[in-house]
A = this chain, B = another copy of it.
Amino acid sequence: MPNKHDHSLLASLTKRCYFAGRAVMDAALRAHDIGSTQWFVLHHLALSGPMMQRDLVDLLQVERATLSVIIRELVRKGLVEQVPVERDARRKMLQMTDAGKALWDQLPNFETLIHATAFGEIPEADIAAAIRVLSIATERLTNLSLKGDRT
């Protein structure tokens, strides 16, 4: 039977693993003067082409307010443009500028490297179990937040 100690350890590891991964990304990106989430935005725009800011919110799983600040930075750096959308003045379409594309081509592909470093050579069954555990935990915690809304 799993005990409190296991649960506490797993919670702590979840946090440490997240920050350890981000530290590696941040260190690699520092020379290019962009942060880890800024990299993810460029990543999605490079792979999928221009997209609505609203859709990127869902892809990145962050709040609108969070993305708004990230985009503001990328726009300030001249890497991304916010293009007005016809027929709906609320929405903004995001697309990389030429400078953004040029920077992207310079960046190494750390995503694969980091994932291989972190999870390579680990049994498939363990990876699958970890995904099950974190999926369920995330869903339950999210539901708990929603329920607590009406307080």
Does the CB pair A145–B4 fall under 8 Å? no
| Binary contact track A1-28/B, C-beta < 8 Å → 1, others 0 | 1101011111111111110110110011
Q: Which of A79-87, A88-96, A123-131 contacts B (4 or more CB under 8 A)?
A: A123-131
Bound complex: CA A122 to CA B28 (Å): 36
Q: State how many angstroms separate the Cβ of A135 from the closest Cβ of chain B.
A: 6
Say which residue of B114, B126, B140, B148 sits within 8 Å of A133 (CB atoms).
B126
Does the CB pair A132–B127 fall under 8 Å? no
Q: State how many angstroms separate the Cβ of A121 from the closest Cβ of chain B.
A: 9
Identify the A interface with B (CB < 8 A): 1-2, 4, 6-18, 20-21, 23-24, 27-28, 61, 111-112, 114-119, 122, 124-138, 140-142, 144-145, 148
